């Protein structure tokens, strides 16, 4: 097991299975079909992300460098939480962008979804974690990878 320390964006604790991308996560392209067509497992529909395409991310530890895409990203993230199709947590190697941050904060305030978000975990985190590893997020920004 290895520990990483990041900055808490939205608090919470969870333990879930990792899904990892080394490219930017396009929130709208990835979650649009899950939100429009009722896919409760939230299979990623962004064909430009070969790391995640077709993989379910609902309830998973989404490990990523950053989000990319349009200004709808925050709203899509918030809506995925409202519809219970959100990742179990989002773990950013880099500093979170303002749109993803807004969506995560709105979800933590306006919905009953629990989606801890930690950023600034570093490139070493993203190099270490692999799909299927178990991730535990603690309230203090500690992320354990087993």
pLDDT, tens digit (0-9, with 9 covering 90-100), for 98-138: 999 999 999 999 998 889 999 999 999 999 999 999 999 99
- Its pTM stands at 0.96
pLDDT, tens digit (0-9, with 9 covering 90-100), for 44-93: 999 999 999 999 999 999 999 999 988 899 999 999 999 999 999 999 99
Using the structure block, give the residue that is written with the tokens 């409760």. 40
Taking the C-alpha atoms of 58, 62, 67 and 73 in order, what is their torsion angle to the nearest 10 degrees? 20
Per-residue confidence band for 43, with pLDDT thresholds at 50, 70 and 90:
very high
- Which of 30, 41, 45, 70 is catalytic? The answer is 70
Instruction: Enumerate residues 6+ apart whose C-beta is below 8 A from 44.
Output: 30, 31, 52, 53, 54, 55, 56, 57
Predicted local confidence at residue 114, as pLDDT: 86
**How many residues make up the chain in this entry?**
146
CATH number of the domain within which 55 lies: 3.50.30.10
Number of structural domains, the chain?
Answer: 1
Q: Structural domain of residue 101, as residue ranges?
A: 2-145
The answer to whether residue 41 is catalytic is: no
């Amino acid at each position: 097991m290895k520990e990483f320390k990041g900055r808490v964006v939205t608090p919470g604790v969870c333990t879930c299975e990792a899904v990892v991308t080394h490219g930017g996560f396009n929130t709208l392209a990835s979650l649009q079909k899950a939100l429009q067509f009722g896919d409760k497992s939230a299979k990623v529909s962004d064909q430009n992300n070969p790391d995640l395409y077709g993989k379910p991310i609902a309830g998973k530890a989404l490990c990523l460098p950053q989000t990319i895409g349009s200004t709808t990203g925050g709203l899509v993230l918030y809506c995925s939480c409202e519809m219970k199709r959100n990742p179990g947590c989002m773990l950013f190697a880099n500093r979170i962008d303002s749109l993803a941050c807004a969506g995560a904060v709105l979800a933590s305030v306006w919905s009953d979804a629990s989606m801890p978000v930690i950023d600034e975990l570093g490139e070493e985190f993203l190099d270490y974690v692999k799909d299927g590893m178990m991730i535990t997020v603690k309230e203090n920004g500690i992320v354990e990878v087993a």
